[in-house]
Structure 1
Amino acid sequence: MTPYVLTVDAGVRDLRAADHLLHSLSAELALTEGTFGCTHLLREGRPHVGLSFALPTEPLLRTALERLGSGGYEVAPGVPDAVGRAVLYPGVSALTGTLSVADLLDRSAIDRVTVLGSGSRQPDPATVLLTNNHVRPQFQDGELVLTAMPAAAGALVPFEVPDPTPCCADH
């Protein structure tokens, strides 16, 4: 990541709305491919989701700070924590459909893939990953890590699904 980082607190309550806001702000600011946009669970006051942007240049940071501040957003330098859930990152647009773990790592800023229940063992690079067009890695110890889980026929799927069933949806 770069040293040009800012946090936006827009009072967003859920991840889907935060993802949408990240995409909207990125488009409004005309952010470049080298930008990282993450969500962070904020627990101060009323729990909600904050956003962070890691920008490739200092002039872009100044522009973003000015525009977001004048747009009524609460903006602060830095990130609220080190475990951001990446929504925008280099290569994310190439992670659609079905691809191998090796292709995922080659095409994006993701550093590694972990599989639930496999300990620290890395999946075979040839393993198929069904992206569902929704790949949300998380920063862990400075690395961008995608957590996946086993699927049918030896394939993997990202742990986070695009449309999760809400807790207690059938009650």
Structure 2
Amino acid sequence: MTTYVLTVDPDIRDLRTADHLLHTLAAELAFPEGVFGCTHLVRGDRPRVALSLTLPSEPLLRTAQERLTPHGHKISRGAPDAMGRAVIYPGVATLTGTVTIADVVSGSAIDRVTVLGTPGQPAPDTALVTGDHVRPQWQNGELVLTAMPAVGGTLVPFEVPDPTPCCADH
């Protein structure tokens, strides 16, 4: 399947703002099912977060490019890198509350789930408490969710929606 990718460089520096912008753009552009919206950390002289949109057709890519250009963001074709963090992807809306690993893999674009500090993959009936914030990352062409053990034998996504900044109490 051919995919069409745009990079949007909105010159922002934090993931929360990037996530919000991706959701705003998806709503404004009325994306169909099958679109991926990812964040990418750009390093170098000007560290920032870029966005990529993977679209299912050339006409949709052209329409998105035309509609995004007036926003003042730098738009280019292709992805900034192969390591995007998926925010919008098929099935993400179903990953709310507590779901099983089998539900995650069968009901979304996520290919597999790994657990920090453990070899192999969790059992399909293992519960994942999503916190309504599931951000898998592309790894070697697969969309992989990293989870960590939680209370009662459940798992939670490694990335939390509201992380405590380092040294917050200083």
- TM class, shorter-length: over 0.9
Hey, what does 1:57 align to over in structure 2?
A: 57
Hey, what does 1:95 align to over in structure 2?
A: 95
Q: 1:32 deviation in Å? A: 1.1
* Identical columns (%): 69
Hey, what does 1:30 align to over in structure 2?
A: 30
Hey, what does 2:140 align to over in structure 1?
A: 141
Deviations 1:10-36 (A, max 9, x none): 001100000000000111111112100
Distance between the aligned counterparts of 1:145 and 1:70, measured in 2? 34
Q: 1:2 deviation in Å? A: 4.4
Distance between the aligned counterparts of 1:94 and 1:28, measured in 2? 21
When the two structures are aligned, how many residues end up with a matched partner? 170
1:131 counterpart = 2:130: yes
RMSD: 1.0
Hey, what does 1:74 align to over in structure 2?
A: 74
Unmatched 5+ residue regions in structure 1? none
Hey, what does 1:85 align to over in structure 2?
A: 85
Distance between the aligned counterparts of 1:168 and 1:47, measured in 2? 21
Does the aligned pair in 2 maintain the 1:2–1:55 contact within 8 Å?
no
Distance between the aligned counterparts of 2:91 and 2:45, measured in 1? 35
Does the aligned pair in 2 maintain the 1:2–1:54 contact within 8 Å?
no
* 3-state SS of 2:133 partner: coil
Distance between the aligned counterparts of 2:17 and 2:164, measured in 1? 16
Hey, what does 2:116 align to over in structure 1?
A: 116
TM-score by length of 2: 0.97
Query: Displaced runs of 4+ in structure 1, greater than 4 A?
Result: none
Does the aligned pair in 2 maintain the 1:42–1:48 contact within 8 Å?
yes
Hey, what does 2:9 align to over in structure 1?
A: 9
Does the aligned pair in 2 maintain the 1:6–1:54 contact within 8 Å?
yes
**Which has the larger displacement, 2-11 or 145-154?**
2-11
Hey, what does 2:165 align to over in structure 1?
A: 166
Hey, what does 2:106 align to over in structure 1?
A: 106
